[in-house]
Chains A and B, each alone.
Chain A
């Protein structure tokens, strides 16, 4: 069964550094998402992406964040200048579409980001 994959599984970075988190969504899926989970808190929506553009973003997704689909398989989340509070588990997800019957989101295993 196809799965969403994410790399790296863990990332440690210094405050102010740029990080890129990578995801390979399920191949026939058209919608892609990033969520994050700060330790002990809820899973929070960051952004959704469809047809090579952002379809929705949350208030968390400020100018420090960007997403890109650089080729036909990868979907990336970039944090330009990391802050301590960006430390979290970042999950990528994908779905076939947004409409009824297609909206199930399949999650990747996550990238644990630690900002020092």
Chain B
């Protein structure tokens, strides 16, 4: 089955700097890649997703890039703010073939230092 790895496990950044989290996946058939943000004690919230027919997607300060050849995708957060502090999970699935189970990475703890 799909295996998703996520690096680094913890990331500390100064407020205003950028944060980048990288994920790799193993199944070349995966074609849907969501990112979830989980604040302490709260539910995972989708922040952005990308499908395999595009290489990059942006939403305000958040962007995701996908490299299908290398089988990795990255989350970019620019102008980080203290409220960006959370655990970020990447995931992969293959809904085009009816396989919608999400395979998650282990999560990154992002700490934004004011």
Contact = CB atoms under 8 A, between A and B. Distances in A.
B44 A103 contact: no
Contacts of B98: 55, 98
A14 interface: no
Interface in B22-36: 32, 34, 36
B104 A100 contact: no
Contact of B89 (A43, A98, A99): A43
| Range of interface residues on A (Cβ < 8 Å) | 20 to 34
B59 to A, nearest CB: 14
Interface string B74-114: 00000000000000010101011011111111110000000
Nearest to B97: A98
B46 A104 contact: yes
A100 B102 contact: no
Nearest to A3: B43
Contact of B105 (A42, A99, A107): A42
B43 A110 contact: yes
Contact of A109 (B36, B43, B101): B43
Interface in A3-43: 3-4, 31, 33, 35, 41-43
Contact of A106 (B46, B51, B93, B106): B46
Contacts of B36: 107
A34 B46 CA distance: 16
A45 interface: yes
A105 interface: yes
A90 to B, nearest CB: 12
A31 B46 contact: no
Interface string A39-64: 00111110010000001101000000
B42 interface: yes
Given A106-B46, A107-B43, A48 B32 contact: no
B96 A100 contact: yes
